[in-house]
């Protein structure tokens, strides 16, 4: 009996060469498909995504890119086309002026939320200050990282997938979302947190990528008090985090991490 197909994975025949010996076998690869986002019948953005948890992506994208709360969305419908997937959003009210001016007409790379914006003003934004949040032990960051490494089935199969996770102040991972794009993974995480009513003021987000400006901005828009990244942040991300009260942590690996802004939230080990 053939194995059940897992959404987000595809199989291709490869030649595996090791020690001079060639082996022909089937390999699992990460699916990457074009996603066209339409809102109230109008095209808004095109990006490359993993074709799973698209409802979560819709809610997260609506908040971080359009400024819409969960109850502003009336319906979400995905349809598979020859060219990819079309995601149709319907909102309770017309999009606000900021969102209308934020329209994109160029395809973006894997989840890049900036690609396709028409002006610099559409890109650089300053989120409101995040909440105070409770204290978080430094050890909780590393506990969450260890657990997250065990909860990435798509990446375990392919080695080509990013993840974003939400953990409690004790480091217990509560939610994980994966995608080929780091921005998409974080939007999916934010989306499922909105749908489930997760308190973004208590706990922290963990991402398996670098912390770019837009990743920090998305976390701040969602009201997350702390964002921890496995890789480095950019200078612009650190500046934004400093201004909006976000604790930004980078190089979370092994027993090490670097705090770039608002270290007062973290209790020493």
Domains of the chain: 33-123 (3.10.20.10), 136-267 (3.40.140.10)
Per the CB < 8 A criterion, the answer to whether 205 and 224 are in contact is yes
**pLDDT in the model for residue 192:** 97
Query: Does residue 244 carry a catalytic annotation?
Result: no
Q: Rounded distance, CA 72 to CA 69, Å?
A: 5
The dihedral formed by the CA atoms of 137, 138, 144 and 147, expressed in degrees to the nearest 10: -110
Q: Which of 162, 206, 165, 167 minimizes the C-alpha distance to 182?
A: 162
DSSP 8-state code for residue 71: G
**pLDDT in the model for residue 74:** 95
pTM, rounded to two decimals:
0.88
Q: Rounded distance, CA 198 to CA 215, Å?
A: 19
Q: Quote the tokens at residue 17.
A: 């060469």
DSSP 8-state code for residue 115: T
**pLDDT in the model for residue 5:** 54
**pLDDT in the model for residue 161:** 95
Q: Rounded distance, CA 36 to CA 48, Å?
A: 9
pLDDT (tens place) for every residue of the chain, 269 residues total: 344 556 788 888 888 878 878 788 888 889 999 999 999 999 988 989 999 999 999 999 999 999 999 999 999 999 998 889 999 999 999 886 555 444 444 444 454 554 544 433 445 567 888 888 889 999 999 999 999 999 999 999 999 999 999 999 999 999 999 999 999 999 999 999 999 999 998 899 999 999 999 999 999 999 999 999 999 999 999 999 999 999 999 999 988 999 999 999 998 86
* Active-site entry in 39, 112, 115, 244: 112
């Amino acid at each position: 009996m053939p194995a059940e197909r897992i959404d987000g994975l595809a199989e291709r025949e490869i030649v595996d060469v090791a020690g001079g010996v060639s082996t022909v076998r089937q390999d699992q690869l990460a699916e990457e498909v074009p996603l066209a986002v339409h809102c109230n019948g109008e095209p808004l953005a095109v990006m490359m995504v993993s074709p799973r948890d698209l409802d979560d992506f819709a809610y997260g994208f609506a908040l971080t890119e359009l400024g819409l709360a969960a109850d502003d969305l009336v319906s979400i419908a995905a349809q598979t086309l020859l060219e990819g997937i079309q995601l149709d959003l319907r909102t309770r009210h017309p999009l606000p002026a900021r969102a209308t001016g934020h329209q994109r007409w160029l395809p973006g790379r894997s989840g890049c939320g900036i690609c396709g914006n028409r002006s610099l003003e559409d890109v650089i934004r300053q989120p409101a200050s995040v909440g105070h949040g409770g204290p978080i032990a430094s050890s909780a960051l590393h506990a969450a990282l260890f657990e997250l490494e065990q909860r990435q089935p798509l990446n375990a199969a392919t080695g080509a997938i990013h993840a974003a996770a939400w953990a409690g102040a004790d480091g217990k991972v509560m939610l994980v979302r994966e995608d080929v794009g780091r921005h998409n993974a974080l939007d999916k995480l934010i989306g499922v947190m909105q749908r489930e009513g997760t308190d973004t003021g208590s706990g922290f987000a963990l991402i398996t990528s670098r912390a770019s400006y837009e990743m920090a901005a998305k976390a701040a828009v969602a009201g997350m008090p702390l964002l921890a990244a496995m890789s480095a942040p950019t200078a612009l991300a650190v500046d934004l985090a400093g201004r909006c009260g976000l604790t930004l942590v980078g190089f979370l690996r092994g027993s090490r991490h670097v705090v770039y802004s608002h270290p007062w939230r973290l209790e020493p080990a």
